[in-house]
Amino acid sequence: RISSLTSPGLPPEIDPSKLRKIAGQELTPRSIDKAKSALLNALQNDGYACPEIAISADSVSGELVARTVTGGLRTIDQITPPRLDKTDPRILRRYEAFKIGQRFDMRLLALTSERILTDSLFVSSYYDVDCSSSGLRITQKTVEGKPRLYQMGVGFDSEDYTIAKVQWKDARIDGRGSSLAGTLYASYRRQSAEASMREYLSASSRFYLRPRLDFDRENQVQYETVNAEASVLAASSWDGESLRAEAAVGPARQYIRTLRGPGPDNDTFLVLRTQWSLLDHLFEYYAGEPRRGWRASLETVSRADALDSSFTAHNISAHGEHLWNVGNYDPPLLVAGTRWWLATTYVDRRSAAQSGLGPDMRFYMGGDANFRGAPLKGLPNDDAGFLTAAYDGLELRMGDIIARGLQPLVFVDAAMGGREDAHLDPDVYWAPGAGLRWALPVGSIRATASRGMIWRRETALPPLYRPHWQFFVSFGREF
């Protein structure tokens, strides 16, 4: 068996003892290749694009010694674009997760290719990195394929029960990479239909217009509504060396019909939407197997009585997430994470908040997405909802240590709510719990159990929550 892996030629920032699943393995040509690949990835992720590694093994002691020539730090100086038949190759620049001239990182090239595939632009995309005596040469390779994509899926979770989704997309309706998409979604709690478009103004630009039509019916415990919206947002994105920023702003025409719960019987009005987000590149890269990085976003929805509305209201919501690879092992031993959410709705007249404000501008917590000590949208336990809400969750998950990809986790969630804008009531709702994540090739299954509790800091106010045990099972959701 392999007892250790050492490499005297490695840069000081790369520690081979942090590379897991090497020591303890059977000493075979395959395990030696695996150790070499792990070292190669560590070097290429840290700027050494062209390392040379030779590993020798002692069959008696089990020691592996890697003699490494790093080849020096390299930068991404130039990308040779692919040849495309019907599409302007400049559209590929909008997917780049790096800046020309920055330090080489193989993960950023892989992330760029993953963005292209996720957007269904091409059926294959990758970068060929060639190291020769003349220097580093990076060539982008793609396979165009047909632009139309059809997807169907079914699933199940303990909140929405049976879920079905059908999606159609034409990813290249013109040479600028504009797209058209339609989605149908159905579950016990929610049914929706959506048609949207991305119209890029030029092939070299990240700026685009996003017209969208949306129909949505929700049947939650606290309310039942039918909503429709037509919107046109102007949007763009930007990538730095380590961050991605996205922004969108534009008007929308909303229709809401309340079948049960708070809100107007029928109402149509104009709103202004804004969406802002910041995303760490490594958070995006490891999205399928979360381990590090962060993201944060801010969304606003505003309606004004001077613009086709019976009252003025501003809905402001900010949320974020941060993950840490404890000890920086690869693959991780432990992953720690926190996620938070802070939101409020300002209304110019209190009477409007009671009768004219729909559930989409009220806040209901509970469910696998935030406070896991209550059922889906079960906090508060009445249909009035909150006008201000705050949530924070802490989680510690074991890495890939147990066989078959099973990963135990522990967590604690805390939440507060308020019946008025920009004000939180004193009571604190919290829920310690534990669960299990099962990593599968098609996604992850998460099951959690938690005990919801309430810290009564103001006994004069009526309690809005009954402590109890809460269980969740979900497929595909990550912390």
For 355-405, what is each residue's pLDDT tens digit? 889 999 999 999 988 999 999 999 999 999 999 999 999 999 999 888 888
Domains in the chain, number: 3
Give just the sign of the alpha carbon dihedral 11, 12, 13, 16.
Answer: positive
The rounded mean pLDDT for the chain is 93
Is position 319 within any domain?
Answer: yes
Q: Helix, strand or coil for residue 78?
A: coil
Cα gap 109→125, rounded to integer Å: 10
pLDDT given for residue 154 in this prediction: 82
Three-state SS for 318? strand
Q: First-to-last CA distance in the chain?
A: 36
Say how far apart CA 18 and CA 434 lie, in whole Å: 27
- Note whether 57 and 119 are same-domain residues: no
Residues 64 and 95 in one domain: no
Q: Tens of pLDDT along 276-321? A: 999 999 999 999 889 999 999 999 999 998 788 889 999 999 999 9
Query: Which of 18, 51, 69 marks a domain boundary?
Result: 69
**Measuring CA to CA, which residue among 75, 15, 63 is closest to residue 39?**
15
Q: Tell me, yes or no, whether 157 lies in a domain.
A: no
156 located within any domain: no
CB-side neighbour CA atoms (13 Å) of 161? 8
Asked if residue 99 belongs to a domain, the reply is yes
Residue 160 placed within a domain: no
Same domain, 63 and 108: no
What predicted TM-score, i.e. pTM, was given to this entire model?
A: 0.92
Distances (CA, A) of 358 to 192, 306, 345, 355, 361: 18, 19, 11, 8, 6
DSSP letter for each residue of 320-367: EEEEEEETT-BS-SEEEEEEEEEEEEEES-HHHHHHT--GGGSB-B-S
- Regarding whether 84 and 36 lie in a shared domain, the answer is no
Please tell me whether residues 332 and 232 are part of one structural domain: yes
| Domain termination site, one of 69, 94, 123 | 69
Whether 37 and 101 share a structural domain: no
- Same-domain pairing of 61 and 87: no
How many other C-beta atoms lie within 10 A of the C-beta of residue 382? 11
Among 133-147, 156-170, 411-425, the range of highest mean pLDDT = 411-425
For 368, list phi and psi in degrees, rounded to 5.
Answer: -65, -20
Question: Can you give the residue range of the structural domain that contains 35?
Answer: 4-69
Domain membership of residue 462 (yes or no) is yes
Are 349 and 464 in a shared domain?
yes
Of the candidates 92, 114, 143, which is a domain's last residue?
Answer: 143
Which strand (E) or helix (H) includes residue 131? strand 124-132
Query: Are 36 and 58 found together in one domain?
Result: yes
Instruction: Give exposure, 359-368, as e/b (b: 16+ Cβ within 10 Å).
Output: bbbbbbbbbb
Q: 111 and 21 in one domain?
A: no
H-type alpha helices, 45-79: none
Residue 264 counted as domain residue: yes
Tell me, yes or no, whether 172 lies in a domain.
no
CATH of the domain at 122: 3.10.20
47 & 88 share domain: no
CATH of residue 326's domain is: 2.40.160.50
pLDDT > 90: percent of the chain: 83
Q: Give the whole-angstrom CA distance, residue 338 versus residue 320.
A: 8
Residues 338 and 386 in one domain: yes
Query: At 14, which CATH number?
Result: 3.10.20.310
